Amino acid sequence: MKVPLLDLQAQLSYLENDLIAAVTRVIKSTRYIQGPEVECLEKEIAEYSGAAYGIGVTSGTDALLVCLMGLGIGPGDKILTSPYSFFATMGVILRVGAIPVFADIDPVSFNIDPVKIGELLAADTERKIKAIIPVHLYGQCADMTAIMKQAEQYRVPVIEDAAQAIGAEYPMSQNGKVDYKRAGSMGIAGCFSFFPSKNLGGIGDGGMVIVQEKEIAEKLVLLRNHGAHPKYYHKLVGGNFRLDPIQAAALRIKLPYLQKWHRQRAENAATYNRLFTETGLVAEQKVKLPASVYADSLGPEHGIKNVHIYNQYVLRVRRRTELIEWLSKNDIGCEIYYPVPLHKQDCLGSLASETYCPEAEKAADETLALPIYPELTSSMQSYVVEKIVQFYR
Ligand SMILES: *Cc1c(COP(=O)(O)O)cnc(C)c1O
């Protein structure tokens, strides 16, 4: 049996006609820049995520970049973030000339540890830290209650890297009351990626920023289009960060499926968890299951299930290198997200030496993502687990 890490053909089988019709509609409209498809998607994503405004951009990377530009981040500024993420999270900080400061991750959630954030903010007596970028890794939100509390105390804005977490729900505590918020809607801005492997993936690159405040939305709209308003009058130096209407049209076809896809991914995760437990691999500590850390806080009155949208299903495993070889020999796709933590990347040069993040380093050495896409069948999952059992026996 062949089990790829991700199979986009599986969803194409029921989306193809609608996607072609949507793309054709854009072609025939001749509205190739901005236009109604982009505007509608912006409204739909903002509404879906519980935000006031959506600003479509070229990619998840550019969503983060335009936010840093919007906050006026530049040389000498420091940005606090997670050392365990896709490179873009750090890349944008370096590109605006700022310095990344890393707070180590919590080993259970893989997300940035708010206690470490507190320590770094307290130690920043010169107040060089100008923003915090928590990453909602693998589809589960970072601990935003604690993060927002620190951020408010030190008056530092929070930009959520929600590239892997669109629609993920988080039980936010405010004034002793729990309120369920969707990823991206809690900080000053939230950034999404529509890279094809994300839960809501385009037919190419795309991204979006969501914000609550009109003033910020207007600034990001300017920056997205060379800072021009009106045309050819440039108040700010921005860039071309416009979302392609063909992508917007395709994403609007996919958005109505998103809740169902999240549920299917969560069901697949539950199936893996059950199988790995039944086979004894968990008890023998050959594999460690991913934790949905907020699931327990959910009361039955809430009917909210997307606390983890499983963009990735990530285990900690023993003898990882040999296991990967074995899986690929058996036609099973898998991937390491991510093998080198950000503070260990060569491009950081001398900036790297100041950082000590043992949990991120340990995660980078131990984690392995298995196929989890919505259309994955239960027989494929059984095959994956069976092969992993065979490996360890
Ligand atoms: C995918 C991703 C990005 C970048 O998104 P692109 O659309 O590929 O530019 C940024 N941060 C994280 C955590 C991601 O997973």
**pLDDT-based confidence at 302, cuts 50/70/90?**
low
**Which one, of 127, 117, 251, 128, lies nearest residue 187 by Cα?**
117
Which residue's alpha carbon is at the smallest distance from atom 5 of ligand 1? 60
**pLDDT-based confidence at 350, cuts 50/70/90?**
confident
* From the candidate CATH numbers 3.90.1150.10, 3.40.50.300, 3.40.50.150, 3.20.20.70, the one assigned to the domain spanning 258-392: 3.90.1150.10
Tokens of 14: 């029921």
Residues paired with residue 141 on neighbouring β-strands, in sequence order: none
What's residue 342's pLDDT? 97
Statement: the pTM of the whole predicted model exceeds 0.95:
yes
**CB of 49 shorter than 6 A to ligand 1:** no
* Residue 148: strand, helix, or coil: helix
Higher-pLDDT residue of 174 and 383 is 383
Per residue in 161-212, pLDDT (tens digit) is 999 999 999 999 888 888 899 999 999 999 999 999 999 999 999 999 999 9
CA–CA gap between residue 206 and residue 192 (Å, rounded) = 9
Per residue in 230-285, pLDDT (tens digit) is 999 999 999 999 999 999 999 999 999 999 999 999 999 999 999 999 999 999 99
What's residue 352's pLDDT? 82
**CB of 61 shorter than 6 A to ligand 1:** yes
**CB of 85 shorter than 6 A to ligand 1:** yes
Please check whether the two domains, 8-257 and 258-392, share a CATH topology.
no
CA–CA gap between residue 75 and residue 154 (Å, rounded) = 21
Contact 311, 141 (CB under 8 A): no
Per residue in 136-152, pLDDT (tens digit) is 999 999 999 999 999 99
Q: Are strands 99-102 and 78-81 parallel, antiparallel or unpaired?
A: parallel
| Mean pLDDT along residues 336-350 | 95
**Which one, of 213, 214, 160, 220, lies nearest residue 191 by Cα?**
160
What's residue 291's pLDDT? 94
Give me the architecture of the 8-257 domain, per CATH: 3-Layer(aba) Sandwich (3.40)
Q: Could you tell me the residue ranges of all domains in the chain?
A: 8-257, 258-392
Q: What is the CA(93)–ligand 1 centre distance, in A?
A: 14
